[in-house]
Amino acid sequence: MGLQETKIESLPFVNAELNYLAPTAAKPRTYAFDPPPREPKSTALPEPHQVPIFDARLIAQNISLDREGFALVRHPTRVRDFYNDEEVRAVYYPAVEAFLRATLKADRVVIFDHTVRKRVDGAADIRGAGPRQPATRVHVDQTILSGANRVREHLPDEADELLKGRVQVINLWRPIRGPLRDSPLAMADGTTVEPGDLVASDLIYPNRRGETYSVKYNPNHRWFYFPEMTPDEALLLKCYDSATDGRPRFGPHTAFVDPTTPLDAPPRESIELRTLVFHKQ
């Protein structure tokens, strides 16, 4: 049973502000480093909207990565220190690879990077300067162009053959400490997102140019979150899917300020792994 058969309006919810993309004439772009003189760091300006975000705990079993573009999974971990890159790569990477291969019935899983985040009041989100801050704008990590390019970038010798099958970019996101009450993650039901809501946006690095989707406001979007996630839980987020059979290919998501968060709640700490998931079909 999918969410279309579920009485969403009966679920608990919070009203919260989400930062969509403000209208812009040119293609939005953001520098991942200090911009050139007299250039703004980003031309992707926020347009805040108050929206209901529904508590998906009671309907978690009805939510599917293939249908809605996200899913809650139970995934205990033996990692002791997620701030230790060596331990994350040696212990967490192989465990996640095996878990995703089994859970998604994939032929192959390749992890290409990870990001640790910790919210610090008033801190800017600067790459390469310690833990990143939560991403507080509605976005998708990849686009039609950059999703396929990830395969070419990380597996250049095999890319042509791999791209003949189904390719997904899946983000596995989890809190490092919990229960998480600060800056939780909201996910849009992919069945409520229109292709025209997604705006390709340049992400400029010192040595290359990536592309993500910013998202325009659409009152039909339906948003969900899983309150008080524990470190034994994780979210699967669909960031790209090469399948064109009608299923959602992209899952917009964002951190948000939960108005019910206690004032003494510890700041959010989380880790996300970005992975290439292959099916030969």
Average pLDDT, the chain: 94
- Whether residue 81 contacts residue 98, with contact meaning beta carbons closer than 8 Å, is answered with no
Q: Are strands 233-241 and 108-118 parallel, antiparallel or unpaired?
A: unpaired
Tokens at residue 76, please? 């205990």
Residue 246 backbone zone (phi > 0: left; psi -120 to 50: alpha; other: beta): left
Q: What is the pLDDT of residue 243?
A: 96
pLDDT above 90 covers a percentage of the chain that reads 86
| Omega of the bond leading into 248 within 30 degrees of 0 (cis) | no
pLDDT band at residue 123 under the 50/70/90 scheme = low
CA distance 261 to 207: 40
Mean pLDDT over residues 204-217, rounded?
Answer: 93
74 Cα distance to chain centroid: 17
pLDDT band at residue 109 under the 50/70/90 scheme = very high
All structural domains of the chain with their residue ranges: 3-279
Of residues 123 and 136, more confidently modeled = 136
CA distance 274 to 148: 14
Of residues 51 and 131, more confidently modeled = 51
Nearest partner of 224 among 68, 74, 100, judged by Cα: 68
- The CATH class that applies to domain 3-279 reads mainly beta
Q: What is the pLDDT of residue 132?
A: 86
- pLDDT tens digits along 63-74: 999 999 999 999
Q: Is the pLDDT of residue 105 over 80?
A: yes
Of residues 125 and 32, more confidently modeled = 32
167 bridge partner residues: 278
Mean pLDDT over residues 159-183, rounded?
Answer: 97
- Whether residue 230 contacts residue 178, with contact meaning beta carbons closer than 8 Å, is answered with yes
CB atoms within 10 A of CB 243: 15
Nearest partner of 180 among 268, 60, 56, judged by Cα: 268
Q: Is the pLDDT of residue 265 over 60?
A: yes
pLDDT band at residue 33 under the 50/70/90 scheme = confident
Q: What is the pLDDT of residue 34?
A: 86
Q: Is the pLDDT of residue 159 over 70?
A: yes
